[in-house]
Each structure stands twice: as C-alpha cells, then as structure tokens.
C-alpha cells in the first residue's frame, strides 16, 4: 500500500501581470504576492496557486518558492505569529492564502 504523503504549507512569491478585472489599482503594472499554499510538495503547491490565481482573473507570470515553515526556520528566517497563523489556516483548510499584495508602478 502506498504511503500517504503529508500536506505541508509552502511560502511562495508570485509575480502577476495586468489582466482585465484583476482588481489591481489604476496605474499598476502588476504586483508581487506573498502566498501560503498547501500541497504534498512544492510543485503541487505552485500548480494549485497558479490555477487559483487564474480563476481569480489574475495573470501569474513567475513563482518563487521559499520552502516550508521548517525549511525557512532552518535558514534563520524570523516568522511572526501572524504569518504562522496564516500558514496553519492554509494547512487546516487545504487552501491557498494570499497574505500580501504589493502593486508595481512605473
């Protein structure tokens, strides 16, 4: 019997471009998103994130993975309680949570 792979939460940075109906402010050329996404591996978390962002009428251009909570802690990242709570929620709900949106302007 195959061993069940455990869901984990990955921190992703996603760059999005402009698309009609994307909800970004006028004058923005795109945005950077900080996302917490659950998946059995980072590739699954990235696929789920891109699919959900496309459903939300955004145009994902690039995704950079920063690993799991444990991997980030091992690299010495300071992770505040608010971030930990969002990661726990992403895991509990098997969800993709956009934690931060930073619009780009020229």
Whether pLDDT at 104 is above 70: yes
Burial of 76 (0-12, 13-18, 19+ CB in 10 A): exposed
CB contact set of 56 (below 8 Å; sequence gap of 6+)? none
Whether pLDDT at 93 is above 90: yes
Confidence of residue 5 (pLDDT cuts 50, 70, 90): confident
Domain limits of the chain?
8-105
DSSP bridge partners of 62: 15
**What span, in angstroms and rounded, lies between the C-alpha atoms of 55 and 33?**
16
Confidence of residue 17 (pLDDT cuts 50, 70, 90): very high
Whether pLDDT at 1 is above 70: no
DSSP bridge partners of 91: none
Which candidate, 9, 2, 21, places its Cα nearest to that of 69? 9
Whether pLDDT at 3 is above 90: no
User: Encoding tokens for residue 77?
Assistant: 């990242």
Whether pLDDT at 19 is above 60: yes
Query: pTM of the predicted model, to two decimals?
Result: 0.92
Query: Please, where are the H alpha helices in the chain?
Result: 42-55, 69-74, 81-92
**What span, in angstroms and rounded, lies between the C-alpha atoms of 9 and 45?**
8
**What span, in angstroms and rounded, lies between the C-alpha atoms of 26 and 76?**
37
* pLDDT tens, position by position, 32-89: 999 999 999 999 999 999 999 999 999 999 999 999 999 999 999 999 999 999 999 9
In the prediction, which pLDDT does 2 show?
55
């Amino acid at each position: 019997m195959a061993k069940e792979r455990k869901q984990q939460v990955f921190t992703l940075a996603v760059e999005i471009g402009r698309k009609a109906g994307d909800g970004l402010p006028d004058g923005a050329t795109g945005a950077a998103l900080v996302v917490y996404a659950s998946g059995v591996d980072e590739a699954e978390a990235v696929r789920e994130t891109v699919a959900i962002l496309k459903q939300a009428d955004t145009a994902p251009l690039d995704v950079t993975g920063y690993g799991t909570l444990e991997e980030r802690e091992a690299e010495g990242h300071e992770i505040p309680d608010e971030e930990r709570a969002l990661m726990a929620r992403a895991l509990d709900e098997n969800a993709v949570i956009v934690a931060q949106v930073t619009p780009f302007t020229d």
